[in-house]
Amino acid sequence: MYQDYIITALSLLVIALIIGGVTVRRYNIPYLYFLACTVLNATFLTNIAGNSIVKVMYPWFLPLFFLIGPGLYGSYCSVQERKNRWHIIHYLPVFIGYFILIIELAFFNDYFYETVQLARDLKWESTSVFWPFSDKWILLAQPFHVLLYVIWSVGKLNKSKARIPLFILPIAQGVFLIPLLDINYHFLTGEFLIFANDQVLRYIMFGLVFLIFWDVVNIRPRMQKAEEKELKAYEAEKEEQRQAALNLEAPHEIYPSAGKVINTEMVLYIERLIQGDEEFPFNKHSKKSDFIKHSPFKTPDWESFFSATSTNFGFFKKYTRIHRALRLIEDGYLNNQSVETLAKTVGYSSRAPFYLAFEQIMGESLTAYREI
C-alpha cells in the first residue's frame, strides 16, 4: 500500500513536470525549476528510489533542492522582475553549493570521495561534503529555506491582489513544510521528530502532490496567456529602446540616404569601417561575395541596404574606400607616406584608379582637395 502511494505520487509529479514543460516553456522558467526539483526531492526521500539516487548522483543533486523556493517565488514574479540582474541572487545558494563541490573535488579529492562513500552507506551523521556544514543540517535547513520563499510568494500575490486560486499552491507548500522537516529527519535518523505515524505523512504528501498537479493543469494555463502577452510586450519594449538608441547613435549622413536604412547597425558598421575601428575589408575581399561572407551581415541584409540607399556594391566599395582615405589624410597620413601607399592601403592596385575614384566620389581632384 505504501509503495502504491509513493509510485502514484511520483508519477503525478513527473506528469506535472512534462505538462509544465510543454505549456509553460520559456514564459515561466522558474516554475519548471520548482517542478523539476520537487520531483527530485520527492524521489530522494522515498525508500523506493532514494538510495539509488544517493549512490548515483550524490552529492551533485543536493544544491538543486535550494531551487524549490526560488522557483516557486520566481513563478509569481513579472517578466521584468525575472529579467532584473539582481534576481539571480535568489539562486546564490545553488551556485555556492556547486562552487564548494568543485573546490573539494579539485583540491581535497580524498576527503571528497571518503564523504561520498559515507553517504552511500547512509551514514549521514558523518557526511559534510559542504564543509563546514554537515549534510544533515543542510537537509534539515532546506524546509526553512522554502518557508522563506513561501512567505515572499504569498506577500507578492497579496500585494498584486491576485485571485484566490493562486494562493493555494504556496500556502499548501507552507503547510507541507512541517511534515517535510519530519520526513527529512526520519530519512537521516530513522526516527520521527513530530509525527508518530508515518501514514499521516503519506496522506499529506499525496495531498500536496495533487495540489501541484492541479496547479499545473488548471491554474497555470490561465496564467499562460497573461505571461505570454507580458513577455512579448517586454521584448517589444526592449527592441524599441534598442532601436531608439541606435537611431540616436547612428551617423545617418555617413553614407548617402543612410537615414532610410532600417537596420541602423549596418550604418554604424560602415562608420566603423571608415573610421578604422573595423578591419578594412577591401584589401583582401574586393568581390561582393567575399565581402559579404566576411561581414557581420548576410546577403538579404545587404540587398535591403542597397535598395534603401539606391546604390550598389560597386558604389559602396568605392565610397567606403575614398572616405577611409579621407580619414587617413585628415590624420596626417600623407605627411609621411605617398599617395601610392595610401591608394594601396584602401584597396587600390595603384594611384591611377584611386585618383579617378576620388574625383567621382568627391566631385574634385585629390590635388584640389588637399589645397583647400
Same domain, 33 and 143: yes
pLDDT of residue 316: 87
Output the DSSP codes for 131-185: TTB-HHHHHHHHHHHHHHHHHHHHHHHHHTT--THHHHHHHHHHHHHHHHHHHHH
Q: Evaluate whether residue 246 is within a structural domain.
A: no
- Pick from 241, 275, 291: which residue ends a domain? 241
pLDDT of residue 281: 74
What are residue 130's phi and psi, to 5 degrees? Answer: -95, 60
In the structure, how many helices (H) and strands (E) does the chain have?
18, 0
Same domain, 160 and 56: yes
Same domain, 288 and 232: no
pLDDT of residue 1: 41
Q: Domain residues for 223?
A: 2-241
CA 258, CA 236: separation in Å to the nearest integer?
Answer: 24
- Pick from 217, 241, 265: which residue ends a domain? 241
* pLDDT tens per residue, range 43-93: 766 654 445 666 667 778 788 888 888 988 888 887 777 778 888 899 998
Same domain, 349 and 303: yes
Same domain, 188 and 309: no
CA 346 to chain centre: 41
Q: Evaluate whether residue 58 is within a structural domain.
A: yes
pLDDT of residue 167: 83
Same domain, 61 and 132: yes
Same domain, 78 and 164: yes
Same domain, 32 and 72: yes
Q: What is the CA radius of gyration of the chain?
A: 32
CA 14, CA 176: separation in Å to the nearest integer?
Answer: 19
Sequence length of the chain is 372
CA 12 to chain centre: 29
Q: How many domains does the chain have?
A: 2
pLDDT category of residue 193 using cuts at 50, 70 and 90 = confident
List helix spans (H) across 284-365.
Answer: 288-294, 299-309, 313-330, 339-345, 351-362
Q: What is the mean pLDDT of residues 247-262?
A: 66
pLDDT of residue 201: 61
- Helix, strand, or coil here: 130? strand
State the DSSP code for 294: H
pLDDT category of residue 12 using cuts at 50, 70 and 90 = low
Residue 249: pLDDT over 70: no
Q: Evaluate whether residue 64 is within a structural domain.
A: yes
Q: Which three cell numbers stand for residue 123?
A: 551514514
Same domain, 198 and 86: yes
Q: How much is the pTM? A: 0.54
Q: Which three cell numbers stand for residue 154?
A: 504569498
pLDDT of residue 59: 77
* pLDDT tens per residue, range 98-121: 888 888 888 887 877 777 777 777
Of the candidates 187, 204, 177, the residue with the CA atom closest to the CA atom of residue 48: 187
Residue 252: pLDDT over 50: no
The more confident residue out of 357 and 187 is 357
Q: Which three cell numbers stand for residue 173?
A: 507548500
Of the candidates 33, 160, 154, 42, the residue with the CA atom closest to the CA atom of residue 90: 33
pLDDT of residue 152: 92
Q: Evaluate whether residue 69 is within a structural domain.
A: yes
Residue 360: pLDDT over 50: yes
Weakest mean pLDDT among 44-53, 143-152, 153-162? 44-53
Q: Evaluate whether residue 216 is within a structural domain.
A: yes
The more confident residue out of 28 and 157 is 157
Output the DSSP codes for 43-99: HHTSTTTHHHHHHHHTTTTGGGGGGHHHHHHHTTS-HHHHHSGGGGGGGHHHHHHHH
Q: How many beta carbons lie within 10 A of that of residue 190, not counting itself?
A: 8
* pLDDT tens per residue, range 262-308: 788 888 888 888 887 777 777 666 788 888 888 888 898 889 888 88
Same domain, 75 and 205: yes
- Helix, strand, or coil here: 280? coil
pLDDT of residue 371: 77
pLDDT of residue 197: 62
Residue 125: pLDDT over 80: no
Same domain, 23 and 157: yes
CA 120, CA 56: separation in Å to the nearest integer?
Answer: 9
What are residue 9's phi and psi, to 5 degrees? Answer: -65, -45
Weakest mean pLDDT among 42-46, 171-175, 318-322, 363-367? 42-46
Q: At 332, which CATH number? A: 1.10.10
pLDDT category of residue 151 using cuts at 50, 70 and 90 = very high
CA 30, CA 172: separation in Å to the nearest integer?
Answer: 18
Same domain, 182 and 64: yes
CA 27, CA 34: separation in Å to the nearest integer?
Answer: 14
Q: Evaluate whether residue 247 is within a structural domain.
A: no
- Pick from 189, 220, 241: which residue ends a domain? 241
